[in-house]
Structure 1
């Protein structure tokens, strides 16, 4: 059995290796918050630009939403034959080859959408580590047989460390080096899975998932007792059985050794107690699993496709707005008194993609306290298609704000419909998901009173 401490070290190493190879690209604030922060940034926009900047942002958002409308429809059409929730009458028969084709192209499109939504696919070694047999609590081990699946993919968005606090009376007597380590969480996880010999593909999304608890989102996890607890129970039962056998033999031989009967009873009670403790731990894990599936499930199957496209729109909008605004604001200070119509694209921007990404990353860190890796290529290509960005001698330039506004659709709707959108703090396990240790202890007291163990 691998010691728990070594397992934790392996998880830490695996996590940090993944973090180095997949730097987070998710910008953890809403569209409206970004607009507000950019408008409040001192000496960034002129007075004239401030008056129309929100209109420009709304027009840019509408253009991006229109772009993704056809993408969502294509995803729905590809998913239709392999949708496990489909409830309409079947009008045609799909043979296995047609279903496989649809599944293949759906996963290809999902890869693209996930990248635009700033999800990253979890590396195979991270998934294998999460699904192999490992300890989830004292005495309880779980595992998932990956060979049961033809399709099993995980994508994650956002990683965060959450501090684990102890009750004050425990913290007083706990050494600093023995204090609980912060827990690592994914903000969002998306799964695509299909069992072997199954014809339907399942898509699921969860929120606030511990990085070492991916098996909880799969339907066929195996729960086992640890080798140590198994050994304790087996030893106790063996001693009890041997004592009973010895007592029977001595009785037949008319010998009086009551101490053997006492030993048998004690070891038998020890075995029952060990088994009861394991069952309680197992029930706690199952209760946590039930709460995760109830409280942490975000969307499934066809509904998830719309959610992912919406996230791709969000991230594309935020990246495009940041790219355009930082290029617009990169100009000599003498130009701040000029009107937009008097500005020339040659005077606006003049940054390479690397310089631009560095400035945006620094600004995001100042605003959110989160280190992100900005990839501007998608946003640059998008703005080029809209005709408001050009590249001259490897330097990026943009149209003045008023000219750029006229190049975009003039019927903004999407962000206006999101006026109630706000930044929120994640719940994680501090509220409804995990019960506190005090609650567990109270439950055990109640169970003892009513004679459950």
Structure 2
């Protein structure tokens, strides 16, 4: 641990890291070093699982809950639902219509791209260095041998280092109450239902962005036909465009995964250790089919056997019960196999990245959100009346209100915009104008880039 701290201090003194932009998030990024001993208490199995189990019991006693309690206060959407290119076009059309203003905004956007690329490249390198000893997908020859306490400690460091990156990527953490709701409530149209054993987990945490309410896109054609060729129509669901999962089982390792288009009631389907279960409706239909077919077989075959072979009634009933038991076991086993295959296909289509690849995806998304926040702050502050100066708190509050109203008018989505953070990004980028890329930033030689590689004849 002391070696990692020394490496971080040495990296902070390296050329180019004195960029003002790095100081905006350095305090947040380095806070995990001071807080990581507290994490075992936060993620300890006794407290976490007991409180989660208690909340699950409360939801089991409720009658048909449709969403977590106080959902509007628990979850606030912070994701800006535009790509950087779309946002740039909208800002140019609305606020920078003249050629000079358009050129100035494009120049500022290019400056933002260069600085954020350098900034998040450093953050990604630190994260990968932390995660490398516990990476289950290592392709190198050396495999570090870690004890369980050492591995758990490294996993906790990685999780705390991920917090500021997830916050900048505008992911919202899902509360324990939301997780309890998702583990208890099952949507009636969920073709695959699973169950988990909380005793197998040390911790689990979800982050989400892009909440939507509507019909979900179907990822697979499996399971689209129900009993008697009945096909259900998609229902209106509450789902998320992206969900990040961090979970640890007692017999496994830290699992980092990202999924798309995940319903709120289907979060438990993303966990690593689970069992497929048959829903109440499917059990009822299967049992009804078994009873009807069993009665038909007994009337048509059993009575003939009882009359012609002079078999005792008790023996016949015993054989019939064994036959129906085997038939029921086979039917329920086939149903679970179909559901397991459907679950595998669903996870195949919904999974976007996992483990070390997820770190790169999060760094890229955080960089994109960082750029969008800086562009919004730059454009809205430029159109603010010159006489309307105030304290930084008043300016950030004005910026937050203006951007939220504009996003609501443009998209119809209520987005919570962090005005103070956007002002910090803009201030750091403005101070670094003319100094980015910093000294030591690699520059490509255009002549070397355009020169084709030498072939065997040229060598």
Task: Output the TM-score relative to the length of structure 2.
Answer: 0.65
Structure 2 unmatched ranges of 5 or more = 1-60, 218-231, 443-459
Residue 218 of structure 1: aligned partner = 271
Q: How many residues are matched? A: 362
Residue 212 of structure 2: aligned partner = 160
Tell me, in whole angstroms, the C-alpha distance in 2 between the residues paired with 1:46 and 1:331: 19
Report Cα offsets for 1:140-198 as digits up to 9, x if no partner. Answer: 64211232111322111111123379xxxxxxxxxxxx986412221011111222043
Q: Is the 8 A contact 2:112 2:429 kept in 1?
A: no
SS of 1:290's equivalent? helix
Tell me, in whole angstroms, the C-alpha distance in 2 between the residues paired with 1:157 and 1:138: 22
Q: 1:300 aligns with which of 354, 360, 365?
A: 354
Q: Which moved more, 1:31-40 or 1:209-218?
A: 209-218
Q: 1:364 aligns with which of 407, 416, 428?
A: 407
Any residues of structure 2 matched to 1:174-193 within 5 Å, and which? 181-193=235-247
Report Cα offsets for 1:344-380 as digits up to 9, x if no partner. Answer: 9969x99622221111011112222322111122222
Q: 1:116 aligns with which of 144, 157, 168?
A: 168
Matched, 1:377 2:420: yes
Q: Is the 8 A contact 2:216 2:239 kept in 1?
A: no
Residue 53 of structure 1: aligned partner = 105
Any residues of structure 2 matched to 1:135-154 within 5 Å, and which? 137=189, 141-154=193-206
Q: Is the 8 A contact 2:120 2:363 kept in 1?
A: yes
Q: Is the 8 A contact 2:185 2:265 kept in 1?
A: no
Matched, 1:310 2:310: no
Residue 41 of structure 1: aligned partner = 94
Change (3 A) 1:315 1:138: closer
SS of 1:357's equivalent? helix
SS of 1:204's equivalent? strand
Tell me, in whole angstroms, the C-alpha distance in 2 between the residues paired with 1:249 and 1:50: 93
Q: Is the 8 A contact 1:236 1:271 kept in 2?
A: no
Residue 74 of structure 2: aligned partner = 21
Report Cα offsets for 1:293-340 as digits up to 9, x if no partner. Answer: 2222111111110110111111111112111210111136xxxxxxxx
* CA apart distance, 1:292: 1.9
Residue 30 of structure 1: aligned partner = 83
* CA apart distance, 1:382: 2.4
Structure 1 unmatched ranges of 5 or more = 1-5, 166-177, 333-343, 389-403, 414-453
Residue 179 of structure 2: aligned partner = 127
Report Cα offsets for 1:371-417 as digits up to 9, x if no partner. Answer: 211112222222333455xxxxxxxxxxxxxxx8546549999xxxx
Residue 378 of structure 2: aligned partner = 324
SS of 2:67's equivalent? helix
Change (3 A) 1:233 1:157: same
Tell me, in whole angstroms, the C-alpha distance in 2 between the residues paired with 1:139 and 1:298: 22
Residue 204 of structure 1: aligned partner = 257
Matched, 1:355 2:394: no
Tell me, in whole angstroms, the C-alpha distance in 2 between the residues paired with 1:116 and 1:224: 38
Matched, 1:290 2:290: no
Change (3 A) 1:410 1:269: same
Tell me, in whole angstroms, the C-alpha distance in 2 between the residues paired with 1:8 and 1:92: 50
SS of 1:13's equivalent? coil
Tell me, in whole angstroms, the C-alpha distance in 1 between the residues paired with 2:361 and 2:91: 26
Q: Which moved more, 1:30-39 or 1:293-302?
A: 293-302
SS of 1:322's equivalent? helix
Q: Is the 8 A contact 1:185 1:209 kept in 2?
A: yes
SS of 1:51's equivalent? helix
Tell me, in whole angstroms, the C-alpha distance in 1 between the residues paired with 2:424 and 2:279: 54
SS of 2:265's equivalent? coil
